[in-house]
């Protein structure tokens, strides 16, 4: 890709970018959110048409005006947001739009037998174990990810773009993905790998290209780089500290949860903990620990079978998000693109939507001018990068979308913030800014529960860490005493078969 430029209204997304990929290599493409990585790849895949620049494949200049053109040329892209057809089976998702047919016109039918044979052949080549006739919506995220890779390979692709492929995968699932990538690399396939996870980049990549503010910074062999060097070149400055200095001092108990159990016996059961004023309480655990289900229950999104939630010493009933908001609670959900933002609405509308009554006048009409003023104030306060508050939020980077969602809930003036994976899919520079906001809120006396699957983040940000395993609270560790080994030990504990020990479990772990 030579001298690629692309502009959107109010934003120069790419400026004279050149990007080269060698055959049979994994080429990492890195940069902060908003650096232009995904935009560059969407130009390669025909989703966007560059304003300037040329694309060459095997030395020949090519015209890519649509995704179909890209696929026909052997270029595939696996997007960060997976969008399978959930109610159709696996093989139908792979061959969608190009089913093998049998019979003669006008009586032509889908040749399901041939489709199954072709699917199994691809699965064997990539060492994937999925039932071709399984309903896609019932698969785990990692298997859907594998399904997308199979679909890309089925086009005989020589270039495969993977945009944040490990953001929702466990350690074992990442290992399997890497084995597939190594197999493809050995077959001469070029893989463009977009990720914010430094350790993965240095481990799997041959070459690394870094972008900043829509411009090309440089390309290096992965062996020449370190994590600190990558960060410096990404953000354009030395980032000596990954986490801000914390000045918050946890005080008296603000919320107490006793023996909280889900109506689903396979979900969280008999969970007890306390949350203090001015405290950041981290929640750690492996996939399936039911952390998200727990905080969604606290916010009234999921039914509770039994247990007591007390706020400032008084038991409260939270059966809906409205009840939670009345008790000064806020929830930043795990998947901002699915359950957070309203993509076609503006930054202003996304900011005020949880607090519309604040902007109603005596006739119940919205005072839009006041809402826009508040949105602008929060854009400045949180240093959100956006052309204006009238820009559609889907045009912002992930980190800036997250800041808008934080602003949305801060306008409700909460005392308890539930943050579910607040930095997922966000680059290291934007992460530091989100961390700084969280720390400032704790210093102001806000109580924060933060779920994170990143161990360094839990250790770097939490005053205490509650660890869950298979729906049970297995321990609470004081921040300064916690370690990755101790968290993993507690996270890997099996669910006890003895229901009688759960009250004692709270008593034994509440002091850490």
User: Are the CB atoms for 328 and 410 separated by under 8 Å?
Assistant: no
Point out the residues of the chain with pLDDT beneath 50: 496-512
- Given 176, 210, 235, which residue is the final one in a domain? 235
HSE-CB at 181 with a 13 A cutoff on CA atoms is 27
Name the 3-class secondary structure at 157: coil
CA separation (Å) from 472 to 180, 217, 237, 497, 510? 34, 47, 43, 12, 14
For residues 74 and 303, give the distance between their C-alpha atoms in angstroms, rounded to a whole number.
48
104: domain CATH number? Answer: 3.40.50.300
CA separation (Å) from 294 to 221, 273, 274, 305? 44, 12, 14, 12
Q: Which residues contact 487 (CB under 8 A, 6 or more apart)?
A: 284, 455, 458, 459, 465, 467, 477
> Which residues does residue 104 pair with via DSSP β-bridges, in sequence order?
107
CA separation (Å) from 193 to 104, 190, 482? 43, 10, 33
- Same domain for 362 and 407, yes or no, is yes
Alpha helices in 416-469 (DSSP H): 428-443, 455-461
Helix (H) or strand (E) holding 149: helix 141-154
- Same domain for 393 and 511, yes or no, is no
Nearest one of 446, 443, 448, 451 to 286, comparing CA atoms? 451
- Same domain for 360 and 392, yes or no, is yes
Widest CA span in the chain: 77
For residues 505 and 509, give the distance between their C-alpha atoms in angstroms, rounded to a whole number.
6
Name the 3-class secondary structure at 419: strand
pLDDT of residue 71: 92
- Same domain for 117 and 229, yes or no, is yes
Cα 36 from chain centre = 18
Alpha helices in 160-212 (DSSP H): 171-186, 198-204
Nearest one of 259, 250, 270, 269 to 310, comparing CA atoms? 259
- Same domain for 291 and 343, yes or no, is no
pTM of the model: 0.64
- Same domain for 290 and 343, yes or no, is no
Helix (H) or strand (E) holding 322: helix 321-326
User: Are the CB atoms for 303 and 459 separated by under 8 Å?
Assistant: no
pLDDT of residue 238: 53
Name the 3-class secondary structure at 414: coil
- Given 396, 412, 428, which residue is the final one in a domain? 412
- Same domain for 228 and 299, yes or no, is no
Name the 3-class secondary structure at 412: coil
> Which residues does residue 315 pair with via DSSP β-bridges, in sequence order?
310
HSE-CB at 138 with a 13 A cutoff on CA atoms is 10
- Same domain for 369 and 451, yes or no, is no
- Same domain for 463 and 366, yes or no, is no
- Given 384, 412, 440, which residue is the final one in a domain? 412
For residues 98 and 184, give the distance between their C-alpha atoms in angstroms, rounded to a whole number.
23
Rg (CA), the chain: 25
Name the 3-class secondary structure at 27: strand
- Same domain for 133 and 213, yes or no, is yes
Q: How many C-beta neighbours within 10 Å does residue 171 have?
A: 9
- Same domain for 344 and 277, yes or no, is no
Beta strands in 31-132 (DSSP E): 52-57, 60-62, 75-78, 101-104, 107-110
Sheet containing strand 280-284, edge to edge, reads: 329-332, 416-420, 447-451, 280-284, 464-469, 472-478
**Residues of the domain holding 136:** 2-235
> Which residues does residue 253 pair with via DSSP β-bridges, in sequence order?
276
For the segment 207-237, what is each residue's pLDDT rounded down to a tens digit?
999 998 889 999 999 999 888 888 788 877 5
Q: How many domains does the chain have?
A: 3
Name the 3-class secondary structure at 250: coil
With helix as H, strand as E and coil as C, how does 75-91 read?
Answer: EEEECCCCCCCCCCEHH
- Same domain for 302 and 324, yes or no, is yes
């Amino acid at each position: 890709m030579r001298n690629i430029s692309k502009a959107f209204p109010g934003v120069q997304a790419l400026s004279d970018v050149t990007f080269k990929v060698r055959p049979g290599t994994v080429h990492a493409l890195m940069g902060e959110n908003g650096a232009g990585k995904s935009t560059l790849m969407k130009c390669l895949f025909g989703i966007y048409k560059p304003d300037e620049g040329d694309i060459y494949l095997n030395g020949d200049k090519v015209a890519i005006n649509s995704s179909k053109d890209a696929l026909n040329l052997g270029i595939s892209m696996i997007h960060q947001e997976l969008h399978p057809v959930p109610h159709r089976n696996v093989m139908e998702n792979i061959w969608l739009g190009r089913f093998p047919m049998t019979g003669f016109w006008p009586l032509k039918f889908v040749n399901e037998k041939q489709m199954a044979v072709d699917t199994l052949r691809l699965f064997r080549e990539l060492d994937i174990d999925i039932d071709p006739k399984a309903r896609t919506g019932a698969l785990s995220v990692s298997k859907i990810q594998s399904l997308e890779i199979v679909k890309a390979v089925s086009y005989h692709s020589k270039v495969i773009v993977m945009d944040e492929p490990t953001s929702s995968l466990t350690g074992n699932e990442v290992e399997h993905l890497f084995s597939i990538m190594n197999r493809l690399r050995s077959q001469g396939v070029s893989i463009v790998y977009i990720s914010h996870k430094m350790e993965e980049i240095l481990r799997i990549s041959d070459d690394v290209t870094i972008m900043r503010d829509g411009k090309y910074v440089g390309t290096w062999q992965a062996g020449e780089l370190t994590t600190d060097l990558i960060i410096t070149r990404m953000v354009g400055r030395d980032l000596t500290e990954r986490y801000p200095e914390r000045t918050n001092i946890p005080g008296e108990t603000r919320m107490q949860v006793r023996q909280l159990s889900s109506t689903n016996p396979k979900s969280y059961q008999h969970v007890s903990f306390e949350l203090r004023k001015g405290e950041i309480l981290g929640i750690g655990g492996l996939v399936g620990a039911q952390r998200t289900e727990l905080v969604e229950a606290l916010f009234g999104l999921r039914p509770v079978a039994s247990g007591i939630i007390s706020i400032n010493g008084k038991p409260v009933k939270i059966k809906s998000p409205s009840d939670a908001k009345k008790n000064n609670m806020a929830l930043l959900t795990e998947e901002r693109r699915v359950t957070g933002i309203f993509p076609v609405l503006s930054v202003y509308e996304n900011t005020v939507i949880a607090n519309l009554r604040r902007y109603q006048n005596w006739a119940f009409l919205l005072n839009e001018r006041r809402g826009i003023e508040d949105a602008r104030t929060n854009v400045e306060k949180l240093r959100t990068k956006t052309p204006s508050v009238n820009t559609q939020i889907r045009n912002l980077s992930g980190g800036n979308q997250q800041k808008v969602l934080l602003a949305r809930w801060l306008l409700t003036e909460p005392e308890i913030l539930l943050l579910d994976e607040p930095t997922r899919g966000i680059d290291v520079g934007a992460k530091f800014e989100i961390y700084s906001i969280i720390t400032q809120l704790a210093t102001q006396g806000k109580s924060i529960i933060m779920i994170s699957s990143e161990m360094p983040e839990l250790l770097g940000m939490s005053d205490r860490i509650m660890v869950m395993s298979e729906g049970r609270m297995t321990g609470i560790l004081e921040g300064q005493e916690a370690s990755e080994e101790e968290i993993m030990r507690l996270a890997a504990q099996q669910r006890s078969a003895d229901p009688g020990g759960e009250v004692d479990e709270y008593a034994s772990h509440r002091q850490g």
